[in-house]
Amino acid sequence: MSNEDETPQPSETPQPSGTPENRLRKELPEEVPAAARADSEERKHDADTGPTLTGRQRLVKGVWPPRVTRAQLIVAVLLFGLGFGLAVQVASNSDSGSALRGARQEDLVRILDELDNRTQRLEDEKQGLEDQRTELENSSNQAEEARKQTVEKEKQLGILAGTVAAQGPGITLTINDTKGTVKADMLLDAIQELRAAGAEAIQVNGVRVVASTYLTDSGSGVKVDGNKITQPYRFKVIGKPQDLEPALNIPGGVVQTLEKEQATVTVDRSTKIVVDALRPAKRPDYARSSSQ
């Protein structure tokens, strides 16, 4: 018999079914594969988050339904109206062009004649309006010129009436009457002679001489329009000196007559004589303008 046969075999000791080793194996959880656990968690996540969307689905979801503001809506309406108007205009022009292209030669000639006539009428109206404008401008200028002439004429009438002062070239006539022989009629003759020679304004010793002026004797002097003046009698006369002085010195004239009465007479020319004595404007009692 060999040694292997002689090796004692351990005896199998039977273990009861209620041993501690069997009890521990039953209490441990069953082993689950890792792939199965990951698949379970993914299904749970899908159940919580819902189905997964594709890129196109996400794009559609972001665009629709559209979120339109009030300003965007107004801009859209305006753009639509503008586009519609342009479309109508283009269609109208197309229709007009088509109509003209399809018209007969006689119709085209008639249309051109009507356009020429209308253009001529407009040119005539334009010319008429320009003529009216020119007339109004001329009328305005004429009115301004008439106003200036009226003002100037008023000044001239005021000078003649003695209501405004005057200045200009003229002479100064001085009469010294130491004997007291000069009378009112001699001074009146001097005034008349000066007026006839072209005197435009006369002043005697501070009294303005006008058309209604009268002179009277008053003792040792003379009254001019009721105002007494005494010698020396000084006349300030505005006019052309070359005409005024010779008118006084003619033979048998004013100067010789006064010198016969032993009065001394001097005549001095001047480029500026000031006549500043004024008379109040007096309204005539009976005379009225014939234009009223």
Helices 241-248 and 184-196 pack at an angle, to 10 degrees, of 140
38-47 long-range contacts, CB within 8 A, separation 24+: none
What is the identity of the amino acid at 2? Answer: S
- For residue 25, pLDDT over 80 is answered with no
Q: How far apart are CA 102 and CA 241, in angstroms?
A: 92
Break the chain into its structural domains and give their ranges: 56-102, 105-161, 168-275
Query: Percent helix, strand and coil across the chain, each rounded to 5?
Result: 55, 15, 30
Confidence of residue 2 (pLDDT cuts 50, 70, 90): very low
Give the best-scoring range by mean pLDDT among 35-49, 63-77, 147-161, 205-219: 205-219
- For residue 110, pLDDT over 90 is answered with no
Q: Which residue has the higher pLDDT, 32 or 251?
A: 251
* Mean confidence (pLDDT) of the chain: 80
Q: How far apart are CA 111 and CA 88, in angstroms?
A: 24
Per-residue pLDDT reduced to its tens digit, 29-61: 555 455 455 555 555 555 555 556 676 777 666
Cβ distance 197 to 243 under 8 Å? yes
| Domain spanning 168-275: CATH 1.10.240.10 | no
Least confident of 1-5, 81-85, 159-163, 175-179: 1-5
- What are the start-end ranges of the H helices in 179-250? 184-196, 241-248
**Residues 6 or more apart whose Cβ sits within 8 Å of residue 26:** none
Q: How far apart are CA 215 and CA 218, in angstroms?
A: 9
Q: Which residue has the higher pLDDT, 166 or 66?
A: 166
- For residue 275, pLDDT over 50 is answered with yes
